[in-house]
Structure 1
Amino acid sequence: MKAMTVEQYGSNGEFVQANVPKPEVTAGHILVHIAAASVNPVDTKIHANGADLPFAPELPAVLGMDFAGTVEAVGDGVTDFMVGDEVYGCAGGLGDLQGTLAEYINADIRLVAKKPANLSMREAAALPLVSITAYEGLTRAGTTAGQKVLVHGGSGGVGHIALQLAKAWGAEVYASAGSQEKLDLIRNLGATPINYKTESVSDYVDAHTNGKGFDVVFDSVGSDNIATSLEAATLNGQIATTVSTVEVDLSQAHIKGLSLHVVFMLIPMIHNVGREAHAIILQEIAKLAESGKLKPVLDENRYSLSDAGKAHKRLLSGEGKGKVVIDIA
């Protein structure tokens, strides 16, 4: 089968099209003919720094985690899928899991669900990693109807899904961004936009919560923004962050009695622990998508398998709006 491989990590690790063995279906797995794959920041980090990451695939590597496609064969013990089913998932590109920048993948059924019927393959391929991340963060923070939820990075891959999930669950949702285009996207998705470049934390906390702070803060930005999240949360509030590789003063968390939840959705894939949870979440995401309450935003540019390098550069440029998707078949 055709695949895009990298023979070294780092700035010199170019994507090269190669013919590699087509995987054979194994027990508890399904062989999927991939129609589309999406690019996530973690894919670019592995490409750039794989030599220093213990979960990076051995070289030469096929990268890519998200996919959507059609089941071509089912392995022993598989009863919930059949040949011809359209599926989506986040099931490759880590350790010994072959990535999705290829025509086929032998996917663990614990990491896969049936594709939302109303979404295209491209749209479905954009959802798995960001949806699972957003779902985990919001549920661990105990998000419920009637709460005031603030999503930092509300126009980003994870953020634009998180705000839709929170809204679908009945929360009053606010989201931050720094450009008019991104603020417009947030508004179009049903949340109240906050321009973090022109509004201070105290300004928008006063304006939207009468100075009390937000019940839940979902932070998909990280770094210095974690301190911003602590400031924006209410007493005994909840903070979920997806980017926490940073030193931060937790004094405000102590004074306000905050709970901090760190989300790293790759743990089940890396350690083969609790993978069933991902399939369950993807099933719930499919229901929300089919009910019209959740829809991914895709970058306007289209890329073929041979354009994998260009797709990575597009994501890294920060110029795109929505998920970058690669057409495989």
Structure 2
Amino acid sequence: MKAVIATEQGSADVLRLTDLPKPTPGPGEVLVRIRATSVNPIDTKVRKAKLPMTPALFPAVLGTDFAGTVEAVGPGVTRFSAQDDVYGFAGGFRGPNGDLPGALADYAVVDADLIARKPGNVDFRSAAALPLTATTAWMALFDKVRITPASRVLITGGAGGVGYPAVQLAHAAGAHVVAVTRSAESAEAAIFAGAGACVDLAVTTAQEIVEDHTDGQGFDVIFDTVGGASLDAAFQMIKPTGDVVTVVGAASHNLAPLYLKGANLHMVLVLVPIMFGTARPQQGEILEKIALLVEEGKLTPRIDPQRFALEDAADAHRKLEAGDAKGKLIIDI
């Protein structure tokens, strides 16, 4: 089969098209004919840096998200059959029992607990855009905290890979959503996704945002997808006893503003089931819920219009790292 391997750690130049043996599914696994995969920031990070989730050995097949068709199932798999269209998490990371090959290949063996049936109303490209970003947003808004129609929710990076589906999910739950964006184009996208208003922390202070959008009370929930100064601002804008959730927690921050409000800080790392082998069935269940929302028209991915083939994987990585993506970058396989 054709596959793209990272020959070693480094720039996008280390990604090379090659031939690899077609894998065979083991117990609890499914062999999938990959139809599309998407590029996430974590895919570029593990290619460059030795992180806890970076594959232990190179060459390595990277690529987290996928959508495709089941070709065969391994012993013990009863939820899926050959010819089922599925989507979910492949790998591209270090697992508890060795590296899990990713989705940049014609075929991939995946854990049956980390996938679900593809939403029936979207194509493989759209489905491949969803697993990491939408599951992260779901975990932040419905596992770590509980939002209701009475909740005032602020989402930073509201037009980004995780922020965009988060706006849609919070809106679908009936919450009043304010999105932090940095351009007119991003604000338009966030409003389309369901934000009631957009703000820019570069031109508006945290206190002004609190006064204008919460009557000075602070937000019930803030989901930070940006980190850095945005997370520090979140500590200023959360209400007393409120909840801040972040996906960018590997940094130093002054927690005094949270402490003085009795507020809570939650971390979300969607790769925990892959890295440690815990809660994998729950991740598949979240994918099933996301698929239902997609079929109900409540969740739609934002996809960059440029198309990439498997041999163009390095170009897709370069575009994401340059900050030029206008939505998820999809690689057709």
TM-score by length of 2: 0.96
| CA apart distance, 1:179 | 0.6
191-200 vs 171-180, which moves further: 191-200
Whole-Å separation in 1 of the counterparts to 2:157 and 2:17:
34
CA deviations 1:23-64 (Å, max 9, x no partner) are 101111111000000000000001111xx2243221111100
**1:202 counterpart residue number:** 207
Shift of 1:13: 4.8
Secondary structure of 1:246's counterpart equals: coil
- Residue 23 of structure 2 is aligned to residue 23 of structure 1: yes
Equivalence for 2:110: 107
1:34 aligns with 2:34: yes
Q: CA deviation at 1:197?
A: 2.2
Deviations 1:134-176 (A, max 9, x none): 1111121222222010000000000001111111111111101
Query: What is the alpha-carbon distance in structure 2 between the residues aligned to residue 119 and residue 222 of structure 1?
Result: 32
Output the CA distance in 2 between the equivalents of 1:12 and 1:266.
22
2:285 to 273, 280, 285: 280
- 1:1-329 aligned at under 5 Å gives the runs 1-11=1-11, 13-49=13-49, 52-57=50-55, 58-95=57-94, 96-139=99-142, 140-191=144-195, 192-328=197-333
Change (3 A) 1:12 1:65: closer
Inter-partner Cα distance in structure 2 for 1:78 and 1:14: 35
- The answer to whether the 8 A contact 1:223-1:245 is kept is no
Select between 73-82 and 12-21 the one with higher mean Cα deviation. Answer: 12-21
Cα distance in 1, alignment partners of residues 323 and 13 from structure 2: 21
Structure 2: distance between partners of 1:238 and 1:312: 34
Give, in whole Å, the separation in 2 of the partners of 1:55 and 1:166: 29
Contact 1:153–1:220 under 8 Å retained in 2: yes
- State the secondary structure of the residue aligned to 1:26: coil
Distance in 2, Cα, partners of 1:77 & 1:38: 29
> Tell me, which stretches of 5 or more residues in structure 1 are unaligned?
none
Give the AA of the match of 1:199. Answer: T
Contact 2:171 2:194 in 1 (8 A): yes
- Count of paired positions: 326
How far 1:12 sits from its partner (Å)?
7.2
For the residue of structure 1 that corresponds to 2:100, the secondary structure is: coil
Task: Find the residue that maps to 2:257 and give its secondary structure.
Answer: helix
Deviation at 1:126, TM superposition (A): 0.5
User: Which one-letter code corresponds to 1:73 in the other structure?
Assistant: A
Contact 2:30 2:72 in 1 (8 A): yes
- Aligned equivalents of 2:72 and 2:162: distance in 1? 31
Give me the CA root mean square deviation. Answer: 1.0
**Residue-by-residue CA offset, 1:98-148 (whole Å, 9 max, x unaligned):** 110000111101100000111110000000001111111112122222201
Preserved CA contact (<8 Å) 2:13 2:314: no
AA paired with 2:285? I
Specify the code of the residue in structure 1 equivalent to 2:78.
T
With over 3 angstroms needed to count, the CA separation of the structure-2 counterparts of 1:24 and 1:171, relative to structure 1, is same
Corresponding letter in the other structure for 2:51: L
Unaligned runs of 5+ in 2: none
Identity %: 44
Tell whether the 8 Å contact from 1:33 to 1:72 is kept in structure 2 after alignment.
yes
Aligned residues of 1:132 and 1:282 also touching (Cα < 8 A): yes
Tell me, in whole angstroms, the C-alpha distance in 1 between the residues paired with 2:307 and 2:100.
26
TM-score by length of 1: 0.97
